[in-house]
Structure 1
Amino acid sequence: MPVLSISADQPIQISPNSLWLELCGWKVSAGFPSPAADHTQKRVDLNDHLIRNKEATFLFRVRGDSMTGAGIYEGDTLVVDRSIEAKHNSIVLAILNDEFTVKRLYRRGGVFKLVAENPIYPPRVIKPEEELTIWGVVTFNLHKLC
């Protein structure tokens, strides 16, 4: 079964350096631009918005198309937090039989499945003899628009 794989051999740990960007004090309309677009309200550090636990947060690059229904595409960068407990329906970075994969976790009544968000890939029921490790929970997807 094809799985969504990760192109980096090792996770990339988040840099402790701040990344400051200007935050505008109004919501963005999908219509015409505001004449006040040159005025920002404050500066924000993206680490404060994307990272809950710096020591347990890593970035992974996506390869594959099994999670497109969840808005995760080839080349996207996932923010993965190892300190969050994976629950039923979480999108997780898992290690299945020594291979990284990103899927939605199904965990009900002692049954574990890794579920793709693309209908061409069937859910993967985890058999007792298989080795499954939930490496972390995906908290954000950094998806490039252009």
Structure 2
Amino acid sequence: MPHLSTPQPLPPGPLLVNALPASVQAGFPSPAEDHQVERIDLMHQLIKHPQATFMLRVSGQSMRDAGIMDGSVVLVDKAIQPESGHIVIAVVDGDFTCKTLQTGADGFRLVAANPDFADIVPSEGQTIEVWGVVVASIVQHGT
């Protein structure tokens, strides 16, 4: 099971980044767009419930096919009601894990986004708690 870092509260205040006031094309942008930079508050764009949102660093490859790589930082909102299809952070027998929640008539399971990893299906006596819903993943490339 992959390990997740200890949940960290978000720092107070805005997290400002530069942003272009346009969508990104897969072709060649206009050189004039380089000079049309504005500042946006990344916290405002990504976080709806600041007091209930935490950061965790992911360790492992079980969510690779969902774009959550080893070393990614995920933002987790504990105020969102988890639903089937949400990527969640769950506590399984005391250990954090990141998986996709699937619910159905036969109960629920935690599904990996990598075929090399088995789903987690609750067994008798096992403790599983959905801790929060992943609302964003930040992948650092090239390190």
Fold shared, TM-score > 0.5 on shorter chain = yes
- Contact 1:4-1:67 within 8 A present in 2 as well: no
In structure 2, the gaps of 5 or more residues are none
Runs of 4+ in structure 1 off by over 3 angstroms are none
Amino acid at match of 1:141: S
- Contact 1:23-1:43 within 8 A present in 2 as well: yes
Residue 38 of structure 1 aligns to a residue whose secondary structure is: helix
The Cα of 1:106 is off from its aligned counterpart by: 1.4
- Answer yes or no: is 1:81 the counterpart of 2:81: no
Q: Which residue of 1 is the match for residue 45 of structure 2?
A: 49
Question: Where do 1:29-48 residues align within 5 Å?
Answer: 29-40=25-36, 42-48=38-44
- Answer yes or no: is 1:140 the counterpart of 2:133: no
Residue 61 of structure 2 aligns to a residue whose secondary structure is: coil
Q: Which residue of 2 is the match for residue 97 of structure 1?
A: 93
- Answer yes or no: is 1:14 the counterpart of 2:3: no
Q: Which of 3, 6, 16 matches 1:5?
A: 3
How far apart are the structure 2 equivalents of 1:57 and 1:138? 9
Give the TM-score normalised by structure 2. 0.92
How far apart are the structure 2 equivalents of 1:132 and 1:123? 13
Q: Which residue of 2 is the match for residue 63 of structure 1?
A: 59
The Cα of 1:33 is off from its aligned counterpart by: 3.5
Amino acid at match of 1:64: G
Residue 25 of structure 2 aligns to a residue whose secondary structure is: coil
In structure 1, the gaps of 5 or more residues are none
Q: Which residue of 1 is the match for residue 127 of structure 2?
A: 131
Percent identical: 36
| Residues 10-46 of structure 1: CA deviation (Å, up to 9, x unaligned) | 2111111212122212222232242113322532100
How far apart are the structure 1 equivalents of 2:87 and 2:34? 38
Give the TM-score normalised by structure 1. 0.90
Residue 37 of structure 1 aligns to a residue whose secondary structure is: helix
How far apart are the structure 2 equivalents of 1:94 and 1:117? 15
How far apart are the structure 2 equivalents of 1:138 and 1:48? 16
- RMSD after superposition: 1.4
Q: Which of 22, 29, 34 matches 1:26?
A: 22
- Contact 1:92-1:134 within 8 A present in 2 as well: yes
Residue 32 of structure 1 aligns to a residue whose secondary structure is: coil
How far apart are the structure 2 equivalents of 1:140 and 1:32? 27
